[in-house]
Amino acid sequence: MNKRTYTKKGLALALGLLLVLGLFSGCGEKPGAGEGESGLVKNITLQVMHRDESVKDFQLATDKETLRQALEEEGLIAGEESEFGMFVKTVDGETADDSKQEWWCLTKGGETWTSGVDSTEIADGDAFEFTLTTGY
C-alpha cells in the first residue's frame, strides 16, 4: 500500500468517528434541565370531548415529566388544589358545572385512568382523553 491509501483510510475512519459522535451528541438530557424536566422531548396526544360533543385534538411536544406539567405548560387545564393534587375543573377553556354534576373524565388510550394529572407520568407516544361527563 502506498501513502495515499493510508491517507484515504485515515480520512474515512475520522469521518466515520465524527458521524458516530454526532449521532450520540443529541442523546441524553439537555443542559440546564430543571426539576421535573427530563430534557427528552416526548410527543403526546390529548383529545378533548366538549359539552356540545365537539372533539378537539392536540399534539404536544414536551420535556415535562407529568401530564399536569405538560398540559399546564400549554394552558390546556386549570383546577383546584386538593390533598390528592389538582382536581381538573377546566379543559381547553371549558369549565365543568358542579350544579349540573359535570366533571372531566380522564382516560388513556380509551381506558379509564385512575391516577390524577399530578401523578401521571408521560412517555413518548402516550394518548390521553378528557371527556366532559355528567353525573356522579
Residues 90-113 have pLDDT tens digits of 999 999 999 999 999 999 999 999
Domain count, the chain: 1
Judge residue 10's burial from the number of C-beta atoms within 10 Å of its C-beta, 0-12 exposed, 13-18 middle, 19 or more buried.
Answer: exposed
* CA distance readout (Å), 55 to 10, 19, 37, 118: 58, 44, 29, 24
Tell me the per-residue pLDDT of 17-52, one tens digit each, with 9 for 90 and over: 444 444 344 433 433 444 445 568 999 999 999 999
Its pTM stands at 0.70
- Evaluate whether residue 52 is within a structural domain: yes
Q: For residue 130, what is the DSSP state?
A: E
SS3 of 114, please? coil
Q: For residue 66, what is the DSSP state?
A: B
- Evaluate whether residue 17 is within a structural domain: no
46: left (phi over 0), alpha (psi -120 to 50) or beta: beta
What CATH number corresponds to the domain at position 88? 2.170.130.30
Domain carrying residue 46: 39-134
* Arithmetic mean of pLDDT, 69-96: 96
